[in-house]
Amino acid sequence: MMDSPLLRYVGLVVLVILCAVFVSPLLWMLSTSLKPQEEIKTSGFAALPDNPSRTLQYAYENYYAGRDKFVDDRGIERTGYEGVLTSDNVHFILYLRNTLIVAVFSVAGVVFASAICAYGFAKVAWPGRDPVFAVVLATMMIPFPAVMIPTYFIFKFLGWIGTLAPLWVPACFGTAFNIFLLRQFFMQIPGDLSEAARIDGLNHWGIFWRIVLPLSRPALAVVALFHTMYVWNDYIGPLIYLNHQDTFTLALGLQFYQAQHGGTPWNLLMAACTLITAPLLILFVMSQRTFIEGITTTGMKG
Amino acid sequence: MIKRGPTSGHSAHDLLTGLAWISPWLVGFAAFMFLPICISAYLAFCQFNGLRAPVFTGLENVRTLFTDPTFWKVLKNTSIYAAFALPLGTLLALALAVLLNMRVPGRTLWRAIIFVPTLVPLVAVAMIWMWIFNGRYGLINMCLGAVGIEGPNWLGDANWTMPAMILLSFWTVGHAVVIYLAGLQDVPRALYEAAHVDGATAWQRLRFVTVPMISPSIFFNVVIGIIFVWQVFAVPQIMIPNGGPGRNAYFYTMYVYDVAFEHQRFGYACILSWVQLFIILALTALAFRLSKRLVFYRGAVT
Amino acid sequence: MGEPLKLNTILRTAVGAGLILPALALIAFGPDTSREVPPDRVVVTYWEKWTDFEGTAMRRLCDVFNDTAGAELGIYVDYVLTTQIDLKSLVAACGGDPPDLNGLWTFNVSSYAAKGALQPLDERAAEAGITPEVILPVYYNQGVYHDQLYSVPLTPWSIALYYNKDIFAEFADELAAAGYSADRAPRTMDEFADYCRIVHRRNDKNDIELHGFVLGVPENIGWYWYAWGTWFGATWSDPETGLMKIDSAEQIRAYEWLQEFVRMFGQRDMIRLESSLANFNSPDNPFMTGRLAMMQQGPWFPNMIRQYAPEINYGAAPFPTHDGSEISYCGQDVLVIPSGARHPDEAWAFIDWLYNSPPINVPSGAAEPQFGYEYCIIETNEGPQQRPMPPLRPLEWLCWNHYKNSPYIEPADDFTRTHPNPVVEVHDQLARSPLAMTEPPIPNWMELRGEFEATYRDIWAGRAEAAPCLRAAQKRIDALTKLAADRMARYGEEYP
């Protein structure tokens, strides 16, 4: 683009301001999680505790060890609080394990099943393929609330309410979005390749397994990544299907932590938020390109 | 792709092969989409509390719909939310994409900062913003206080819950920004050069070159946006259960959830979710109609 | 591709492995429950809402049961903390996944029972001696719906007026000038308004520095916000039909009074003061910081005062009423056995133990002293004294530790004598008042209360005038009532 230097300059300033606004909630979350409880309401804009050299100690207390008695801002001795990871009432390690179980099963399921279906739509010629694919696309528009209630009773019939199964089993049949995404990718694999393989005596399964899948690793990574994000994020599913603390996922566990009688202090709540956000940020930093490419391919081909 | 003659023997065999390949989706569709929709269609005309057998009540639920003030309230709220969050969010996303597309230093970093909020789990988003919107110690009101404005008690004031929710929705436009950015990078430089030669101003270039060229992306995002914005649930449900003061931020899916799982009126909740489905489908159809006039597709549409 | 190893690649692999390996290890070896449950015992899953000191006490009681009677009977009670328990329990019941024992609020009982989500307990209760002859009628009757008993009392309470004696003393002269004594709390609503006018101070910027009383939104002042009408002699239902009614003359008067009261001090100022409450169970509660003289609270409040502001010199009295009569609002936490519970007999064995076990001497050393397990502090003539906690029946042991009054008509002598709550007599006396009020047994009470609550918020915030607002809400309630009655009629049942 041929923008004048002045325009670029103004643009940069605006961009930096907007970025500051965008990043400030996260910084504030982190900053709050590093402060002791008695400073939360008095510290204002301060990024670190009043006594910055104790930041690590406070962080250790909030995130892990908790705190014995302390003196609050009015000089009254108060009973201490539990650290996020060692709390008696919430068990984030347990919730993390549940989330990981759901993530591993459903990601494995969704990648495999979606790839098979996508192959069926991309590389196998059969009558009625395109109309059926149109149905697949159409189901993407059906919002979860529309099927939420009957699905609940189907799972009740199966005896799965209160277990993790409703959160991962449906994914093992592939999801419309991922089938669509993989189909787009498979279509780009040249037909000559599979034709050559066929002459070499490979059947469809052979082509799928030996040629298409290995060539589609980036696309499969996108599916896995997005689905992990989805599992990590899902709130309404666990909210409906899970009743027992021992089965909670992280999202529900965090809400459970917040909803405790009397509310949870902000420093601890923000520490918990930081804990459940951090893995996704690390994942993003590691696979930034996969993320961006995944979003743009799905975004452009609509 | 392999083309075969349309002989019936082959065709039946092909059909079976194709169906076999997409069988995971077929099973999943039947069990978790088609069956639920059928059940929901039946339950919508029943009274059902989940514990006793459903009783068929004919059009009773439909009649209730017309006399239920809360239904109209959530319909209105969700429409207002959609009417502001979607267009303003699109504008903001476009502006950010244009800014990020300029040749400014640190583009990757800025892009990452804009994108990162979309990674934060919704439950954490809700909690971070509860803290930011806190009437006394929240970041926003502290900033307003610093310039001498006394900020409202965002989540406790009937006039401010909806603006708070709309404001919050802008934080997660990063997804759209990435898609628009990819679209912008695909716009041929020659077009800008030609515009420059013709003496077009920066605004004219934006209006007559950039926007038309990325209108397919915009269209795609608007359709996705309609589907999502009408389903908004987790964040308001956690931040202001039951819609807060005056129920001014009571959204459609929250009401469906409450009717179903808080009041155990599953039949009525089903008809509510059908209405929601029809609204989303109607709006999407409308978007498609408008797109024929407004969206510019480069070359042949594939 | 094909290049020699790059630092970037090594780094990424390392971080990736650092994420994935612990994740897999966690899945393989991680905990699959938060508690250890002994094998070969019948596990009674017990959902309860309490966190904090109340939860600690109940967990402790479950431990005692599991170590003693439970071990003999082969039963293990598994305490599971559940927030939003009233919501979660019904969802679980609909999903066919209910607990064996459920700790609800009393006002949930009719809604649950009407939906068929609870098991009737009449026979078991009669056998265990849990009868109206033993239990205070106000608490026993709350478990009755359509002539069947569905819940048994666990910890009862009543709502009283808590006041800061030192603040009253500070305004003694002004109070005396108006004909009141700083030594006693107001008895009628007129007196109450006078007290609030007198006990009021603003700073130079005209901000409220000290104030008499403030009501507010449920999150801050407590779930029993709707008790307000009771002080004006109102009920929540039409005594003749039993249908919910919130636009009675008394209710309208109560909320008009409230609006007038709020406007007297300025709507904006009151809302600001109230928002600083930030939940009554918090050190920021202006009562704790000495900025608020009076609150409408239950017997748990002294325990919070002890934690957040031990220096406050407080008293409790019946809440003022329109005519000075001793009206009270009572509620309780109850135990129910959901229909579909897998081990109802074992669940009942625990309830039976709570009521009928000989007094227990809780082993010392295991619990935190601040919760009063090992000793209690008693106000005596020589000031506060530390005393050992006496043996009590489990149920009363729990009430004692919760600072609450006893559900028994005749509490144990030790219970009253050593009770850690210095004002427990006030709550006990209120529970025995002939004018003790409780929620009516309305099958969709929770749904209707939601409408009432939305209205209340509007009234409190001054968004609408009380009378038309209540009448409009009554219309919505009537419509919902009719729907609910129709629904029940289809099952051949009568509403309410």
Are A149 and A237 part of one and the same domain? Answer: yes
In this prediction, residue C386 carries a pLDDT of 66
Q: Do C32 and A100 touch (CB under 8 A)?
A: no
HEC readout, chain A = CCCCHHHHHHHHHHHHHHHHHHHHHHHHHHHHHCCCHHHCCCCCCCCCCCCHHHHHHHHHHHHHHCECCEECCCCCEECCECCHHHCCCCCHHHHHHHHHHHHHHHHHHHHHHHHHHHHHHHCCCCCCHHHHHHHHHHHCCCCHHHHHHHHHHHHHHHCCCCCCHHHHCHHHHCCHHHHHHHHHHHHHCCHHHHHHHHHCCCCHHHHHHHHHHHHCHHHHHHHHHHHHHHHHHCCHHHHHHCCCHHHCCHHHHHHHHHCCCCCCCHHHHHHHHHHHHHHHHHHHHHCHHHHHHHHHHHHHCC
Q: How far is C252 from chain B (nearest CA, A)?
A: 19
- Backbone CA torsion sign across B152, B157, B158, B163: positive
- Domain assignment present for residue B52? The answer is no
Q: Is pLDDT at A72 greater than 80 in this prediction? A: no
- Show which of A55, A86, A117 is a domain's final residue: A86
Give A-chain residues touching C281 at CB under 8 angstroms: 261-262
In this structure, the answer to whether residues A33 and A126 fall within a common structural domain is no
**What does the angle CA B25 – CA B28 – CA B31 come to, to the nearest 5 degrees?**
145
**Measured between alpha carbons, how far is residue A106 from residues A175, A178, A289 in Å?**
11, 13, 23
Q: What is the model's pLDDT at position B163?
A: 96
Tell me, yes or no, whether A184 and A55 share the same domain: no
From chain B, the residues in CB contact with A142 under 8 A are: 33, 37, 277
Rounded Cα distance, A197 and A207, in Å = 7
Please report the residues numbered 199 through 258 in chain B whose beta carbons come closer than 8 angstroms to any beta carbon of chain A.
202, 205, 216-217, 219-221, 223-224, 227, 230-231, 233-234, 237-238, 252-253, 256-257
Asked if C94 lies within 8 A of B242 by C-beta distance, the reply is no
Query: Do β-strands C42-48 and C75-81 pair in parallel, antiparallel, or remain unpaired?
Result: parallel
- Verify that B156 and B76 share a domain, yes or no: yes
Contacts of C310 in chain A (CB under 8 A): 76
Residue with tokens 């069956």: B35
Chain B neighbours (≥3 Cβ pairs under 8 A) are: A, C
For residue C95, give the nearest of A161, A263, A283 by CB distance. Answer: A161
Contact A174 B175 (CB under 8 A): no
Residues B256 and B214 placed together within one structural domain of the fold: yes
**pLDDT at residue A31 in the model:** 95
Which residues from chain C sit within 8 angstroms of residue B135, using beta carbons?
275
Position A208 scores a pLDDT of 92
Task: Please give the DSSP secondary-structure letter assigned to residue C316.
Answer: E
Residues B95 and B156 in one domain: yes
Residues of chain C with pLDDT under 50: 1-2, 363-373
Token pair 């009206």: residue: C327
Question: Does B134 reside within a domain?
Answer: yes
User: What pLDDT, in 10s, does the model give residues A194-217?
Assistant: 788 888 888 889 999 988 999 998
ipTM: 0.91
All residues of chain B having their beta carbon less than 8 Å from the beta carbon of residue A123 are 1
Phi, psi of C134 (to 5 degrees): -105, -35
**Kind and range of the H or E run holding C155:** strand C152-158
Q: Does B40 touch chain A (CB under 8 A)?
A: yes
**Quick one: tokens of C28?**
């393989």
For residues B29 and B25, give the distance between their C-alpha atoms in angstroms, rounded to a whole number: 6
For residue B1, being part of any structural domain is answered with no
For residues B99 and B21, state if they share a domain: no
Question: Is C281 an interface residue toward A (CB < 8 Å)?
Answer: yes
- The chains in contact with chain C, meaning 3 or more Cβ pairs closer than 8 Å, are A, B
Are C83 and A162 a contacting pair at CB < 8 A?
no
Whole-number Å distance between alpha carbons of C53 and C369 = 11
Q: Which domain holds residue A170?
A: 92-300
Tell me which of B127, B141, B144, B197 to substitute to probe the interface with A (most A C-beta atoms closer than 10 Å). Answer: B127
Q: Say yes or no: A55 and A166 in one domain.
A: no
Pick the last residue of a domain from A56, A86, A116. Answer: A86
**Chain C residue numbers touching B50 (CB-CB < 8 A):** 93-95
Q: What is the pLDDT of residue C219?
A: 79
Q: Do B28 and A173 touch (CB under 8 A)?
A: yes
Q: Nearest Cβ partner of C87 from B136, B158, B262?
A: B262
Provide φ and ψ at A191, rounded to 5°.
Answer: -65, -30
Do C457 and B261 lie within an 8 Å CB cutoff? no
Question: What domains can you pick out in chain C, each with its CATH number?
Answer: 42-158+331-399 (3.40.190.10), 164-328+438-490 (3.40.190.10)
Asked if residue B73 belongs to a domain, the reply is yes
Cβ contacts (< 8 Å) between A175 and chain B: which residues? Answer: 28
At C336, the amino acid letter reads V
Kindly state the average pLDDT of the residues B146-167. 91
Instruction: State how far Cα C439 lies from the chain centre.
Output: 13
- Nearest chain A residue to B273, by CA: A146
Are residues B25 and A229, on separate chains, in Cβ contact within 8 Å?
no
Could you tell me if B38 and B65 lie in one domain? no
Q: Are residues B119 and B149 in the same domain?
A: yes
Residues of A in contact with C12 (CB under 8 A): 286
Residue C441 is given by DSSP the state -
Contacts of A119 in chain B (CB under 8 A): 21
Backbone angles phi, psi at C201, to 5 degrees: -145, 140
Does B130 lie in the same domain as B16? no
Whole-number pLDDT of residue A302: 36
Q: How far apart are CA B214 and CA A160, in angstroms?
A: 46
Q: Does the pLDDT of residue B128 top 90, yes or no? A: yes
End-to-end CA distance of chain A: 26
What single-letter DSSP state applies at residue C321?
A: B
pLDDT of residue A6: 83
Query: What token pair was written down for A276?
Result: 């459940």
Question: Is B54 within the bounds of a domain?
Answer: no
Report pLDDT for A298. 66
Query: Is the CB of A262 less than 8 angstroms away from the CB of C282?
Result: yes
- B138-152 residue pLDDT tens: 999 999 999 999 888
C454/B242 CB distance under 8 A: yes
Peptide bond into C496 cis (omega under 30): yes
From CA C232, how far away is CA C253, in angstroms rounded?
A: 7
Question: Could you tell me if A111 and A185 lie in one domain?
Answer: yes
What does the angle CA A225 – CA A230 – CA A231 come to, to the nearest 5 degrees? 100
In a 3-state reduction of DSSP, which class is residue B147?
A: coil
Q: Which domain, by its residues, includes B143? A: 61-294
Mean pLDDT of chain A: 88
Q: How far is C131 from chain A (nearest CA, A)?
A: 32
Q: Do B276 and A145 touch (CB under 8 A)?
A: yes
Q: How far is CA B208 from the centre of its chain?
A: 27
Question: What pLDDT, on the 0 to 100 scale, is given for residue B4?
Answer: 47
Beta bridge partners of C315: C163
List of chain A residues whose C-beta atoms are within 8 Å of the C-beta of residue C282: 262-263
Asked whether residue B13 falls in the same domain as residue B85, the answer is no
**DSSP 8-state code for residue C366:** S
Helix ranges (H only) for C241-362 are: 249-265, 267-275, 301-308, 344-356
What is the four-CA torsion angle of C30, C32, C36, C41, rounded to 10 degrees?
-140
To the nearest whole Å, the CA of B285 is away from the closest chain A CA by 11
**Rounded Cα gap, residues A297 and A289, in angstroms:** 12
Q: Which is higher by pLDDT, C275 or B123?
A: B123
Are both B158 and B211 inside the same structural domain?
Answer: yes
Instruction: List A residues 66-95 in contact with C (Cβ-Cβ < 8 A).
Output: 72, 74, 76, 78-79, 89, 91, 93-94
Measured CA distances, B124 to A221, A257, B162 (Å) = 25, 11, 19
How deeply is C194 buried, as exposed, middle or buried, from its count of CB atoms within 10 A (0-12, 13-18, 19+)? middle
**Does one domain contain both A82 and A124?**
no
Same domain for A170 and A234: yes
CB contact A300 to B (< 8 Å): yes
Strand C148-149 versus strand B55-56 pairing type: unpaired
Mean pLDDT of B145-164: 90
Count the Cβ atoms, other than its own, within 10 Å of residue B7.
9
Q: What is the CATH number of the domain that holds B157?
A: 1.10.3720.10
Pair A31, A102 in one domain: no
CB-based contact A58:A36 (threshold 8 Å): yes
Residues of A in contact with B256 (CB under 8 A): 145, 148
Helix (H, G, I), strand (E, B) or coil at C295: strand
Do residues C179 and C190 make contact, with C-beta atoms less than 8 angstroms apart?
A: no
B159 to chain A, minimum CA–CA distance in Å? 23
Decide if B82 is inside a domain: yes
Please report the pLDDT score of residue C379 as a whole number. Answer: 58
In sign, the C-alpha dihedral spanning B103, B106, B111, B113 is: negative
Same domain, A26 and A61: yes
How far apart CA B65 and CA B276 sit, in angstroms, is 12
Per-residue pLDDT tens over the stretch B166-198 = 999 999 999 899 889 888 888 888 888 888 888
B106 in the same domain as B29: no
SS3 C240: coil
CB-CB under 8 Å, A89 with C12: no
**How many domains does chain A divide into?**
2
Residue of A nearest to C8 (CA): A286
- Nearest C-alpha in A relative to C9: A286
The CATH number covering residue A245 comes to 1.10.3720.10
C-alpha A58, offset from chain centre: 28
Q: Does residue A211 share a domain with residue A63?
A: no
- DSSP letter for C390, please: P
Question: Which two three-digit tokens encode residue A195?
Answer: 């034709």
Rounded distance between C-alpha atoms, residue A253 and residue B105, angstroms: 41
B18 at A interface, C-beta within 8 A:
yes
One domain, residues B70 and B36? no
Q: How far is B261 from chain C (nearest CA, A)?
A: 6
Pair B180, B107 in one domain: yes
**Nearest CB to A254; choose among B24, B123, B196:** B123
Q: Which candidate in C8, C54, C97 is best for mutational testing of the A interface (most A CBs within 10 A)?
A: C97
Chains A–B, number of C-beta pairs less than 8 Å apart: 291
**A46 in reach of chain B (CB within 8 A):** no
Which residues make Cβ contacts (< 8 Å) with residue A278, sequence separation at least 6? none
Cβ of A179 within 8 Å of Cβ of B230? The answer is no
User: Token pair of B294, please?
Assistant: 């407004």
Q: Is C331 helix (H, G, I), strand (E, B) or coil?
A: strand
Which of A86, A104, A125 finishes a domain? A86
This prediction has a pTM of 0.91
| Tens-place pLDDT, residues C414-462 | 888 888 888 999 999 999 999 999 999 999 898 899 899 989 989 998 8
C-beta of residue B179 within 8 angstroms of C-beta of residue B217 = yes
Is B128 a domain residue? yes
Domains contained in chain B, number: 2
C350's tokens: 């625990």
Tens digit of pLDDT for each residue in A216-248? 988 999 899 889 999 999 999 999 999 888 899
Q: How far apart are CA B121 and CA A296, in angstroms?
A: 21
Q: Give CA–CA dist C407/C154, Å, rounded.
A: 8
Query: What letter does residue B31 receive in the DSSP assignment?
Result: I
**Mutate which of A245, A264, A276 to test chain C, going by most C C-beta atoms within 10 A?**
A245
A 10 A CB-CB count for C323 gives 11
Residue contact C97–A161, C-beta within 8 A = yes
DSSP B245: G
Distance from CA of A295 to the nearest CA of B (A): 7
